[in-house]
Amino acid sequence: MESSYATIIAQYLESVADWRRRRALEESWEPRHGQAAARLDQLVAFVRSLPDDDDRFAVIGKLNRDGELLIPGPILANAVARFGFYADDVSDDALLTRMAELAIEDRGQAGIDPLRDLPF
């Protein structure tokens, strides 16, 4: 049985939170890793609380699903990795909306050379 978009998104967020926890152990002097992991855990709980038919899940999932995994583009992946690392008061709802926006932005960047704007 195929997992829902909500499930694979939550699993991806959990994997990023786990990565942040590992970073917290490696860099014990940097408390923001633990803060980011906790923030991502909060976002996972929010995602799991929403109905599976939330439109944002479909946007993120359709653009980033690979089988039973979410494989985000570089813009979305970079943003998710930073959720909670820097001080912000962004709601879970706003973060999920931002994820959908960034998934669309990643799609628009597909096939564009990321080095094109470098000055050399």
pLDDT tens-digit readout, 71-120: 999 999 999 999 999 877 889 999 999 999 999 998 876 555 555 554 44
Residue 44, both tokens = 């996972």
pLDDT tens-digit readout, 23-80: 999 999 999 999 999 999 999 999 999 999 999 999 999 999 888 999 999 999 999 9
CB 36 within 8 A of CB 85: yes
Nearest alpha-carbon partner for 8 in 19, 16, 92:
16
Nearest alpha-carbon partner for 94 in 19, 58, 21, 43:
43
Write down the pLDDT at residue 87: 74
Write down the pLDDT at residue 112: 54
57/62 Cα distance (integer angstroms): 8
Q: What angle do CA 36, 41, 42 make, to 5 degrees?
A: 95
